[in-house]
Structure 1
């Protein structure tokens, strides 16, 4: 029995030693960058000036993370726009150019750090009231960093000055409030102290389904009650009920 245990230990030691020898040391000297995603929808983002009518510009912050060895010195990072071919945002009109001198101090991975928050400055332009514009942001290769994993290599930002469907308005939100529509969205804003935008839906826990369904059901019931009252008043004066631009009736309950 003692010899049997000895043999097992000996074989196990050999296997461990063999595995240890086979593990290659990390030797890629090329540092890379990715955008940090917290959920699978994090490649998408949106911003609308409709929530902040007094602003002529605003700043959105994204986090980038390094792959590779940590450096003691500060390292410059660069971003670039990649055209989508679908209503692309215009630098200097819809957003501040990434090579603007005022942004340079933010586009840095500090010495000893593995991540940084980088700003994208959006600009209010009259064209944003007529259409939504797309800004696809990617890591620009330089002598310090190259883009990392392809699936984490970009952010697609929608910029507007009108209501747009939040990127995290999921099928769960459709289930609780019905199909999204901008008229419905505005009704929700007008009849609550909430924006019901990406930031608020994230705080509610919509993406990971941790939201309080009782709380959401309370609001769905309240919105439907207020909508019924609104439509009743409309009918009294010979006006139609609340509808979306395509004629679809606004409803919060099926």
Structure 2
């Protein structure tokens, strides 16, 4: 009896392993036949891009932002078409405020960057517009997966990406947490001066400590020279521009 029980136990293990192996093969087969794609996100700006023409030269009429896509499954030996759509809540107009020329995952690639051409339109001086892109189904890909639970409706998952465009000088999202201790209270006048002196236009990304020390020294020195020649610099709020 004991031998029969042992034999049945071993048989059940073998059958279970066979079923798991079969299921695994079936899942892998389905996975390979069902390629999917999603937006790749980063630590900085994980679900959005904010672009302002105001940080650049006045004669710049168009520029480029980038969307990054990654596939689920294996790379293919041919180019494959990516499909996205703009949500109805978007305020930026395709073909007028932005344009995406080609949405393709290149052959043998797992990831690609797609350019979005942004246009400097007169209305952007007085407004901030946005478009929320959503992964759509194409002949080659289905939408990937959502990494955000339903409870976090205020965040965008890996199937959505938000692009904001304006011609206003916006306060960087990390100013209060990262920049205020070294550069003081934000004002557009101060921020524009910082951009002109340092040549840096992207202040939302990580800044190496050595670079930040150089920027602080540079803007203080430049402001001192400005005041010697012109007197105090006054911002749009009527306050004197100072650096701590």
Would the TM-score normalized by the shorter structure come out above 0.5?
yes
* Partner residue of 1:76 out of 72, 75, 81: 81
* Structure 1: 4+ residue segments shifted above 4 A: 17-23, 167-170, 228-235, 246-249
2:130, 2:163 within 8 Å by CA — same for their partners in 1?
yes
The superposition leaves residues 125-181 of structure 1 with CA deviations (integer Å, 9 ceiling, x where unpaired) of 111111121122222222322222332222222212232234555612222222433
Aligned to 2:154: none
* Aligned-partner Cα distance in 2 for 1:250–1:83: 41
* Aligned-partner Cα distance in 2 for 1:20–1:221: 67
Correspondence list, 1:190-201, <5 A: 190=196, 192-198=197-203
Correspondence list, 1:117-156, <5 A: 117-150=113-146, 151-156=157-162
When normalised by structure 2's length, the TM-score is 0.72
What 5-or-longer segments of structure 2 have no aligned partner? 1-12, 147-156
Correspondence list, 1:209-224, <5 A: 211-212=208-209, 214-224=210-220
Correspondence list, 1:36-75, <5 A: 36-39=40-43, 41-50=45-54, 51-75=56-80
The DSSP-based 3-state class of the residue aligned with 1:119 is strand
- TM-aligned CA distance change 1:93 to 1:60, over 3 Å: same
How far 1:64 sits from its partner (Å)?
0.7
The superposition leaves residues 20-47 of structure 1 with CA deviations (integer Å, 9 ceiling, x where unpaired) of 9578343323222112223152322122
- TM-aligned CA distance change 1:232 to 1:61, over 3 Å: same
2:81, 2:104 within 8 Å by CA — same for their partners in 1?
yes
Aligned to 2:98: 95
RMSD: 3.1
- TM-aligned CA distance change 1:249 to 1:145, over 3 Å: farther
The DSSP-based 3-state class of the residue aligned with 1:111 is coil
The DSSP-based 3-state class of the residue aligned with 2:98 is coil
Q: How many residues were matched structurally?
A: 214
- TM-aligned CA distance change 1:117 to 1:193, over 3 Å: same
* Aligned-partner Cα distance in 1 for 2:109–2:82: 13
2:198, 2:218 within 8 Å by CA — same for their partners in 1?
no
- TM-aligned CA distance change 1:146 to 1:247, over 3 Å: farther
Aligned to 1:11: none
The DSSP-based 3-state class of the residue aligned with 1:164 is coil
What 5-or-longer segments of structure 1 have no aligned partner? 1-13
When normalised by structure 1's length, the TM-score is 0.69
The DSSP-based 3-state class of the residue aligned with 1:69 is coil
